[in-house]
Structure 1
Amino acid sequence: MENIRAAEPAFSVTSCTARRVLEIVSNKWAVLIIFVLEKGTKRYGQLQRSIADISQKMLTQTLRQLERDGLIERSVLPEVPPVVEYTLTPMGESLIPYLRQLNHWLNEHYPQIEQARKDYDAREKFKADKSTQTV
């Protein structure tokens, strides 16, 4: 993973590919679904129970997008009622190490991010308080 930069072209914020990748990894529901499916094939209800606070609509939309992107596979089993299962494709599985690396970075740096937010909010509050005093 350390040699990723040497092997790939420079990141371009105007690149359609870069924007698409960011769309996927910035979607919290997509990332959570991928992490749940990392443990194996799951049915729709199992996914919904595994991911707190996801609505049925959002789960359905995210599963469709992940399927469209080729990251998961949807299988309908011929049962009554029909059983639908979801599993990661090999491409979806290949994304997991990168998501884990991002998760590691977030865990390592989140206390700093929280502190930066508190500092920023305090500065903004001070500015706002100061501006109301001069009126």
Structure 2
Amino acid sequence: MSDFDDFDPACRARLTALAQDMQDHGAEQDAPIRTIFGLLGDRWSMLILLLLDVGPFRHAELRRLLDRMSAEGGISQRVLTLKLRLLERNGIVSRSVSGDVPPRVGYALTALGQALLAEAKRLLGWTQARREEIEEARHIFDAQP
């Protein structure tokens, strides 16, 4: 007996395939699929990627730009450092340190980061193209008793 025996055969087959796909690609808490989608959906990472698409920036420059461009308000140095480390850990951002005294630390998108951003921009485009539909759906939902 499977977990989906109480569903019709077509639905059962699709649920079984979905469960197998999830087991194969995202069962662990630290699975890339979970991490990357979490990054794209968090408060800061997408904006960091969009800024790094303009070019490489130093930590302080990124922080000033995030403070200036974010609807969320300012980002703390600690949170920015944590976000950059997580992006670096996943191969999305590279960190470079100059030989200067004091050393200058810069961040840039990797090729993997550029590829991820290209896909994320498609999702941004989808959302922008459907803004009115989304806002109308919200209005209808919010008007319900």
Q: Give the TM-score taking structure 2 as reference length.
A: 0.70
Aligned twin of 2:51? 36
1:19 Cα deviation (Å)? 2.4
| Number of aligned residues | 115
Q: Which residue, 72, 81, 91 being the options, matches 1:60? A: 81
For residues 1-135 of structure 1, the aligned pairs below 5 Å read 12=21, 15-16=25-26, 17-52=32-67, 53=73, 54-123=75-144, 127=145
CA contact (8 A) 1:13 1:19 kept: no
Q: CA RMSD in A?
A: 2.0
Q: Secondary structure at the match of 1:82?
A: coil
Q: Which amino acid aligns with 1:25?
A: L
How high is the sequence identity, in percent, across the aligned residues?
35
Give ranges in structure 1 of 5+ residues lacking alignment.
1-9, 128-135
Q: Mark the runs of 5 or more structure 2 residues left unpaired by the alignment.
A: 1-17, 27-31, 68-72
Aligned mates of 2:60, 2:88 — CA distance in 1: 17
